[in-house]
Amino acid sequence: MAAADAPVPELQARANACAERLLDADRVLLASHIDADGLTSAAVASTALERAEIPFETVFEKQLDAESITGIAERGYETVLFTDFGSGQLDIIAEHESAGDFIPVIADHHQPANPETTYHLNPLLEGIDGASELSGAGAAYVLARALAQASDTDDPLDNRDLAGLAVVGAVGDMQASGGQLHGANAGIVEEGVDAGVLEEIKDLAVYGKQTRPIPKLLEYATDVRIPGITNDKRGTISFLDGLDVACRADDAWKRWVDLTDDERQTVASALVQHAISRGVPAFKIDRLVSTTYILTEESQGTELRDASEFSTLLNATARYERADVGLAVCLGNRTAALDQARELLRNHRRNLSEGIEWVETHGVTTEDHLQWFDAGEEIRETIVGIIAGMSMGADGVSRDIPIIAFARKNDTETKVSGRGTGPLVSRGLDLSVVMREASQAVGGDGGGHDVAAGATIPTGEEEAFIDHADRIVGEQLG
List of residues contacting Zn ion (CB under 5 A) = 37, 84, 136, 173
Task: Indicate whether 417 belongs to the interface with ligand C5P (CB under 6 A).
Answer: yes
Note the helical H segments in 393-461. Answer: 422-426, 431-441
Give the one residue of 61, 84, 191, 200 binding ligand C5P; rule: CB under 6 A.
84
> Considering the complex, what minimum distance in angstroms separates the CB of residue 239 from ligand C5P?
30
Alpha carbons 256 and 274: distance in angstroms, whole number: 18
Give the one residue of 68, 117, 153, 177 binding ligand C5P; rule: CB under 6 A.
177
Task: Indicate whether 385 belongs to the interface with ligand C5P (CB under 6 A).
Answer: yes
Amino acid at 117: T
Is the Cβ–Cβ distance between 184 and 7 less than 8 Å?
Answer: yes
Q: Which stretch binds ligand C5P (CB under 6 A): 153-161, 254-262, 365-373, 445-453?
A: 445-453
Alpha carbons 165 and 313: distance in angstroms, whole number: 13
| Residue with smaller CB distance to Zn ion, 185 or 291 | 185
Residues 207 to 236: which contact ligand C5P by CB under 6 A?
none
Give the one residue of 105, 447, 461, 476 binding ligand C5P; rule: CB under 6 A.
447
Task: Indicate whether 403 belongs to the interface with ligand C5P (CB under 6 A).
Answer: no
| 3 state DSSP class of 267 | helix
Q: What is the DSSP letter of 103?
A: E
Total chain residues near ligand C5P (CB under 6 A): 28
What distances in angstroms separate CA 74 from CA 27, 90, 197, 248, 376, one per listed residue? Answer: 15, 18, 39, 58, 34
Q: Max CA-CA distance within the chain?
A: 71
Task: Indicate whether 37 belongs to the interface with ligand C5P (CB under 6 A).
Answer: yes
Task: Indicate whether 138 belongs to the interface with ligand C5P (CB under 6 A).
Answer: no
Is the Cβ–Cβ distance between 51 and 159 less than 8 Å?
Answer: yes
Q: Which does 389 bind (CB under 5 to 8 A by kind): ligand C5P, Zn ion, none?
A: ligand C5P
Q: Which does 419 bind (CB under 5 to 8 A by kind): Zn ion, ligand C5P, none?
A: ligand C5P
| Residue with smaller CB distance to ligand C5P, 63 or 351 | 63
Q: For the sheet containing 413-419, what is the strand order?
A: 365-366, 371-374, 403-408, 413-419, 452-458, 445-448
Q: Which does 131 bind (CB under 5 to 8 A by kind): Zn ion, ligand C5P, none?
A: ligand C5P
What distances in angstroms separate CA 403 from CA 28, 171, 246, 393, 399, one per listed residue? Answer: 39, 21, 42, 11, 8
Q: Which does 41 bind (CB under 5 to 8 A by kind): Zn ion, ligand C5P, none?
A: none
